[in-house]
Structure 1
C-alpha cells in the first residue's frame, strides 16, 4: 500500500517538519523529520473536525483563542510530543516517512464502547482482538518503512467524570479518588496485554524501535494528587453538562429556566475539560511526566526514541524492509 494512503486511512497527521533523526549514542538527541499520530480524540488535532463534525468554542480558548480541532481548551499531549521531538521547518516529504516518529494513543474508545454496550467480562474478552488489529496496523506501518514507534497505554477510564456519572455504582466499586474500580481494572488488563504485544513486536521486527509509555500511571498520579497540585476535584469538569440534562461542550440549552452548558471560568484548575477529555493544564502535567522517559519501557525520553539496538548495522536502519 502507498504510504500516503496508509496514513490517510488509519492515522492522523500531527506535525511534519524537515530534519534528520540522529540515533542516540553518547547522549545525542533524536530529531525526527515528522511525527504521525494514530489515535482517538485524546490525540486528534483536527481530523474529526475536518471530516465529520465541527469542534465548537469554547474548545481552544486557553491557547489558540478559537477552536483548533482539539477536544480541549488548548493543547494536547501530542502537541508537546511534536514540539519536543522535531526541528522547526516545512512539512515533511514522502521520503521522510521512514525517519518519522509514529505515535499511538488508543484504547479508551474501544473500552468505553464495550462498557456501554456489553458486560465487563465481554470487554475483557475483546481485548485480544483489539490488540491484534493494533498490532497489524503497526506491522503495516513497519512494512512501509516506519521504524520509530512511541506507544501510549490507555488511561484510567474509570476516572473519567462521564463514566463515573453513568456507572451504576455498588458498594466498594469506587476507589479513594471516586474512580470506578472495575473499569480501571479492565484498563490495566488492556495495558498488560498491550505491553506483551509490544514485546512481541520487538521480537518480530528487530529493526524497529518501540517505546511503551505508561500514560495510565501519569494520569492516575495527577488525579490522585489533584488538590495538592492546585486543581479542583478531578471529577469536576469545565465544559458541557451531564447532570440533569446532557449537553455537549460548546452547546447550551435552557430547560425549565435552568441554563445548561455554561463553561467554567478557569479551565486551568480543572483536570477534566468536558468529562471525557483532559484540559490543557492536565495535558501539560502529563506530558512533563511521560516525555522524560521515566514511565517508559525502555526508559528513554522522547528525544531518545530513535535509539537502535547496538547489534543493528547502521546501513539497515532507514528505509530498508526486514
Structure 2
C-alpha cells in the first residue's frame, strides 16, 4: 500500500472517530474573555476588534482569540459571555472568563472580583436556570443548552497567568512565588473536581504562557542584561512560568487518577508561544516583544500609565497588526492567535497527543 493511501486512511479514520462536542463551556481570564469583563465594567475602546470584527466586541485583541478558533474548528458559534445577557444565545455553550481573573479568590493580589470560584458559582447558576427553562419550555428553551450537553460539552480552561503576574507586581520574590503556586493549583484542581461533580467529563486545559516575554512584564520588571535570553525575554520570569506549568502537569496527572471517567488534555501553550516569539521572523512576524497598540515607544512600546484599553491620548496602533504578535503588550493579535491555534489543535503539543476534535477519547 502506497504511503499516500496510508495517510488518507489514517485521516479518514481520525475523522470517523472525531468527537461531536455540542457545546463549549469556558473558564478563564482575558486570554479567552469574549465580553465578560466589558459587560460588567464597561466596553473596550477601539482599536480592539478592528482587524476581524471591525469594532470592539469585548475581546482583548484586534480580532479573534484562541477560544474563537476552537469554536470554529468544532463548527460551533463563538461563545457569548455569561454576563452579556442582551440578545444572547447560549445553546452551544457559555463563557465565564473575565479579564484580570485569577484562580485564587479576590484579595489584594487581584483587582478583578470574578475569580475562578465566582466563575464556578456562575456556572452553577447557569446550569440551574438552564434546567428550569428546559422544563418550562417556550421560546427561551432554544436559547439554552440541552440538558445532556453539560456532560457532552468540551470544558476549556485557561487561567493562572494573573496569579503569577500580580505576585510580581506585589514585589514577591522568585522563591515566594514558587511557594505560592501549589495553593493556586490546589484551588484549580478543586474547581475541576466540582465541575466534574456537575457532569463535566471532557477537559482541555492550557498551561501558562512565557510571561517573561510579555511587554507588560518586561516593562514592569525590567530584566538585567544577564537575565535576558537571546530573544530578550526575562529568564527569571519564564522560569517561574515553567515551574507553574510543571506543577500544573502534575496536577492534571493526579486528576486523571482521581477522576478516571473524565478525559483531560493538557495543552502546552508555553512552548508554542515561545517558539513563535523566539522565531518570529521565520514565521512572518516582526518586533515580537513590542506592543502593536501602545504608548511610549522604545523596544516594548508599552506604558502602564497609558495602556491600549484605557483610551488615553498618545496611543497608536501599528499599521499592520497581522505582522505583530503582541497587540497591547499583554494579549496576542488575531494573526498570532491563529498561528498558535494551528499548532495546538493537532495534538503535537498536547498530553496525550490528542487533537482537538478527538479530545473526548481517553
TM bucket (normalised to shorter chain) is 0.7 to 0.9
Partner residue, 2:307? 248
Task: Verify the 8 A CA contact 1:43 1:105 in the aligned structure 2.
Answer: yes
CA displacement 1:138-196 (0-9 Å, x = unmatched): 00000001000000000100000111122232231010000000000000000000000
Going from structure 1 to structure 2, the CA distance change for 1:267 and 1:196 (only over 3 Å counts) comes to same
SS of equivalent to 1:228: helix
CA distance, structure 1, for counterparts of residue 66 and residue 184 of structure 2: 23
* 1:71 to partner: Cα distance: 0.2
Runs of 4 or more consecutive aligned structure 1 residues displaced over 6 Å after TM superposition: none
- 1:144-159 equivalences under 5 Å are 144-159=198-213
Residues 1:94 and 2:147 are matched in the alignment: yes
CA displacement 1:69-125 (0-9 Å, x = unmatched): 100000000101111124569542233111100001112111100111112211111
Going from structure 1 to structure 2, the CA distance change for 1:168 and 1:85 (only over 3 Å counts) comes to same
CA distance, structure 1, for counterparts of residue 325 and residue 48 of structure 2: 15
Partner residue, 1:66? 55
CA distance, structure 2, for counterparts of residue 222 and residue 263 of structure 1: 21
CA distance, structure 2, for counterparts of residue 288 and residue 67 of structure 1: 24
* 1:250 to partner: Cα distance: 4.5
Q: How many pairs were matched up?
A: 280
Task: Verify the 8 A CA contact 1:240 1:251 in the aligned structure 2.
Answer: no
CA distance, structure 2, for counterparts of residue 289 and residue 62 of structure 1: 22
Residues 1:171 and 2:225 are matched in the alignment: yes
What residue ranges of structure 2 are gaps of 5+ in the alignment?
1-12, 78-88, 93-144
Residues 1:56 and 2:110 are matched in the alignment: no
CA distance, structure 2, for counterparts of residue 247 and residue 224 of structure 1: 27
CA RMSD of superposed structures (Å)? 1.8
CA distance, structure 1, for counterparts of residue 287 and residue 14 of structure 2: 44
Residues 1:82 and 2:67 are matched in the alignment: no
Partner residue, 1:113? 166
Task: Verify the 8 A CA contact 1:165 1:242 in the aligned structure 2.
Answer: no
Task: Verify the 8 A CA contact 1:147 1:208 in the aligned structure 2.
Answer: yes
Partner residue, 2:326? 272
Question: Which structure is richer in relative contact order (CA contacts within 8 A, separation 6 or more)?
Answer: 1
SS of equivalent to 2:264: strand
- 1:1-322 equivalences under 5 Å are 27-87=16-76, 90-91=91-92, 92-117=145-170, 118-242=172-296, 246-254=305-313, 260-308=314-362
Larger mean CA deviation between 113-122 and 26-35 belongs to 26-35
CA distance, structure 2, for counterparts of residue 284 and residue 160 of structure 1: 18
SS of equivalent to 2:317: coil
Q: Which has the higher helix share?
A: 2
CA displacement 1:52-85 (0-9 Å, x = unmatched): 2321111000000011110000000010111112
* 1:264 to partner: Cα distance: 1.1
TM, length-normalised to structure 1: 0.83
